[in-house]
Amino acid sequence: MATENIYGENHTIKHILNQKMDFSLFDGSFEGRKADHIRLALEARMQAVGGSGLDQVQLVHEALPDLDFHEISLATRLFGRDLAAPMFVSSMTAGHAGSVNLNVTLARVAESRGWAMGVGSQRRQLFDHTADAEWLEVRKAAPKLILFGNIGLAQLIEASVDDIRRLADSLEAAAMIVHLNPLQECLQPEGTPHYRGGFKALERLVRELKLPVIVKETGCGFSQATLMRLNGLGLAAVDIGGYGGTHWGRIEGGRAGDNEKLKRTAETFRDWGIATTEGLVAAVALRPDYMVWASGGLRSGLDAAKTVAMGATLAGFAKPLIEAALGGEECLDQTMQALEYEFKTALFCTGAKDVAQLREMKAWR
């Protein structure tokens, strides 16, 4: 698909990305907020300093692998279904002009390549049923895609399980993600930092939803203590969502406009978080009853291979994919092919024929 077709007749996304940082644009509306997030997330200054820790991880090189490259398989199973690779499109955007086109692009290519995909926040659907149309279009574009729904913990606390089930049904979702973003909620001008009762809300959802429930952070990671609290809850997975990629505290600071208190606080917390590798090591060491997924600053197929070698089941990508999706389906497909090839190269050069063997080998240091 050509770039101009993704942007749509009014070139909405292109217009958003080309806007100068004029704080009068930040009108506080739901749609305006989501558009701000895309524009800011692509800026280098919004990326965490110090990284995810993956640059400090090395896979052990095998100079004499006893296999041929064509034998290597990235295939894996998830929720009883086949994936072509242990990689997924991380939850990113929804609920604004242009997000439908972006999500359709992501969904089509993810389906064609056999990846799974998490959608952006479905919060808007809780109060605006017309928002269902976005996900109906995405599902229509990719009828066989493994999709994960997405709602914030603050919204989960206030919603009924029937409300969340409606969100999942609108996607024909294979699982529901509950995202945790306490720092972002504190710094967002429209934030809802209301987490009291969150653990009980998670317990209720796991018990009553009858779908796998995944908990993820959005870039600040998990401590060992929190990972231990989540063990035994019945979660299907915990997505580490660690420090190392796009930092939502920085983004909300970029949206603070004339609010000096929020701007100052965002600057103070610009490096807040637990690195992806630190959270991943802590989670795997627990041997939890949930799968461990890794996201937060992954930028290559080698990064994904490192997280799998360290014990992750799936590896999630966000920024590299949304950048590619803005260039069209062909650009996105090429990016995802490259990520797969890098992952396969890592397998070949460690002597692993598949992802299960890579994980079992513990060939990292």
Residue 47: predicted pLDDT: 73
Mean pLDDT of 234-262: 91
Tell me if 89 sits within 8 A of 150, measured CB to CB. Answer: no
Q: How far apart are the first and last CA of the chain?
A: 42
Mean pLDDT of 135-160: 96
The two tokens of residue 317 are: 């990508």
Tell whether the model's pLDDT for residue 240 goes beyond 80: yes
| pLDDT (tens digit per residue) in 322-360 | 999 999 999 999 999 999 999 999 999 999 999 999 999
Tell whether the model's pLDDT for residue 158 goes beyond 70: yes
User: d(Cα 314, Cα 291) in Å, to the nearest integer?
Assistant: 9
Tell whether the model's pLDDT for residue 21 goes beyond 50: no
Q: Which of 26-30, 55-59, 278-282 has the lowest mean pLDDT?
A: 26-30
Residue 33: predicted pLDDT: 54
User: d(Cα 174, Cα 184) in Å, to the nearest integer?
Assistant: 27
User: d(Cα 266, Cα 260) in Å, to the nearest integer?
Assistant: 10
User: d(Cα 87, Cα 117) in Å, to the nearest integer?
Assistant: 9
Tell whether the model's pLDDT for residue 26 goes beyond 90: no
289 C-beta neighbours (distance < 10 Å), count: 12
Q: Which residue has the higher pLDDT, 190 or 61?
A: 61
Q: Which of 32-36, 78-82, 209-213 has the lowest mean pLDDT?
A: 32-36
Q: In residues, how long is the chain?
A: 365
Could you give the C-alpha distances from 93 to 13, 44, 50, 229, 264, in angstroms and in order?
12, 18, 25, 29, 26
User: d(Cα 178, Cα 134) in Å, to the nearest integer?
Assistant: 19
Does this model's pTM top 0.85? yes
Tell whether the model's pLDDT for residue 256 goes beyond 90: no
User: d(Cα 216, Cα 64) in Å, to the nearest integer?
Assistant: 38
Tell whether the model's pLDDT for residue 143 goes beyond 80: yes
Q: Which residue has the higher pLDDT, 246 or 46?
A: 246
Residue 19: predicted pLDDT: 43
User: How does the average pLDDT of the chain come out, rounded?
Assistant: 89
Q: Which of 82-96, 279-293, 329-343 has the lowest mean pLDDT?
A: 82-96
Per residue, what are the HEC states of the chain?
Answer: CCHHHHHCCCCHHHHHHHCCCCHHHCCCCHHHHHHHHHHHHCCHHHECCCCCCHHHCCECCCCCCCCCHHHCECCEEECCEEECCCEEECCCCCCCCCHHHHHHHHHHHHHHHCCEEECCCCHHHHCCHHHHHHHHHHHHHCCCCCEEEEEEHHHHHHCCHHHHHHHHHHHCCCEEEEEECHHHHHHCCCCCCCCCCHHHHHHHHHHHCCCCEEEEECCCCCCHHHHHHHCCCCCCEEECCCECCECHHHHHHHCCCCCHHHHHHHHHCCCCCCEHHHHHHHHHHHCCCCEEEECCCCCCHHHHHHHHHCCCCEEEECHHHHHHHCCCHHHHHHHHHHHHHHHHHHHHCCCCCEHHHHHHHCCEC
Mean pLDDT of 243-262: 88
Domains and their CATH numbers in the chain: 30-361 (3.20.20.70)
Residue 10: predicted pLDDT: 30
Residue 174: predicted pLDDT: 98
What is the C-alpha radius of gyration for the chain, rounded to an integer number of angstroms? 20
Mean pLDDT of 167-184: 96
